Chain A
Amino acid sequence: MPDRELPEHIRRQLSAGLDGGSPLVAPLPSQARFAALHGATPSPRWRLRALTVAVAAAGIVVVALAGPPQPREWVVQTVNGISRQVGVPAGSVTPSPKEQSTTSGEQKPNAAAESPENHEATAEPAGSPEPEESPDGDDAPQSGPAQPQASPTPGPSDGGGDGGGDHSPEPSPSSGD
């Protein structure tokens, strides 16, 4: 196919059309759109630092999760030591109600130290205090000091010996039996 040339007036027409609508002055390179991306390209040094930090963080996580469990053992040993010092069997060894009823004034502080609320809570379902307390309940007006320990509720202690055996709800049915 022959390579044709355009006539001169056609070429002028073409140039006028192309130069007419488009701005021919190029913006400065600093004003070009790509110039805004110049600072955004990360340098190799920055990448190396980021890689180092990532590897270090991953190593810390691996050691924390899969390493020797010394921290947890230390916690367990410490808790065991403290519980031994305090007197561990506080929850397991519960004094029987018989001991409570027959205790003298020497055992009273120990019982108070071991939180009387716990003893009251554990003594009622575990033991059967009624047969032992019923004879004492008959003598309750005479034996005033023993009454506060036998009665689980603080009401009789406040009332003293004035009809304590009559108004207490628990001893009365057992005494009837």
Chain B
Amino acid sequence: MGADGEATSAVSRPGNRDDFDRLYRENYPRLLRTLYAITGDAAAAEDCVQEAFVKAWRAWPRFRPERAPEGWLHQIAVNTAISYRRRAKLRSVGEILRRLGRPGAGTDPGDAATRSDVVTALAGLPPRVAADFVLRYHHGYNNREIARLEGVSERTVGARLAQARDELSRRLGPGWRGELPTSETAGVHFPRERSGVRDA
């Protein structure tokens, strides 16, 4: 996707298996990290990405070529992760109800060892807020690209990023609030993800 959010990669022909394989190879790492920030669980993120590609493959014959396939995949993946989080929340509520009156099991030490504080804090954010934060500060998209990718306004993206910075600075420290771009940092270009997404 270029600066204007247009797809600059090869033409994606709906229903074509080779084109879908290329989309899979290019978008898998980016989607995996984004969903890891949403779910907070590496295995769940991988499962959600695979599930998202299954859904995308079923809808691939009906894909409209005028739309950017990266944004299409991103929306499917984020929706899949949101559904996962909803189910996980229901499971946890059921677990709490089952354990009423029994001694608490405590936190899983294995889970605590593999999940960093950053990921835990990101998983505590609303899913779309976490996704925008990762796209902006990890994958290097600017606000306009994120807005095009998700089909929302730039103002919405800016508000979500501000919400994420506020929440993370409360949990992780004031450094996460960010700093206004100076003349030196204004021209900084973040390294793009190895996902085939290129600048125009």
Contact = CB atoms under 8 A, between A and B. Distances in A.
B162 interface: yes
Interface stretch (A11-19, A146-154, A162-170): A11-19
A19 B33 CA distance: 7
B58 to A, nearest CB: 7
B56 interface: yes
Interface in A124-147: none
Interface stretch (B6-14, B81-89, B92-100, B111-119): B111-119
A105 interface: no
A15 to B, nearest CB: 6
B137 A24 contact: no
Contacts of B57: 34, 37-38
Contacts of A5: 178-181, 185, 188
Contacts of A68: none
A21 B42 contact: yes
B119 A7 contact: no
A11 B185 CA distance: 13
A158 interface: no
A161 B138 CA distance: 126
Interface of A is mostly: helix
Contact of B25 (A15, A16, A29): A29
A1 B161 CA distance: 10
B178 A29 contact: no
A134 B58 CA distance: 98
Contact of B159 (A1, A10, A24): A1
B124 interface: no
B54 A34 contact: yes
B129 interface: no
Given A6-B137, A13-B118, A34 B33 contact: no
Interface stretch (B43-51, B64-72, B101-109): B43-51
A34 B51 CA distance: 8
A29 B161 contact: no
A9 interface: yes
B192 to A, nearest CB: 13
A16 B54 contact: no
B179 A26 contact: no
B54 A33 contact: yes
B77 interface: no
Contacts of A16: 116, 118
Contacts of A29: 20-21, 24-25
Given A5-B178, A10-B178, A18-B138, 18 more contacts: A3-B161, A4-B162, A5-B180, A5-B185, A7-B175, A14-B138, A17-B116, A17-B118, A18-B119, A22-B45, A23-B32, A23-B42, A26-B25, A26-B32, A29-B24, A34-B24, A34-B54, A34-B57
8 tightest Cβ-Cβ pairs between the two chains A and B: A4-B178, A17-B118, A26-B28, A34-B57, A29-B21, A17-B116, A33-B50, A21-B42
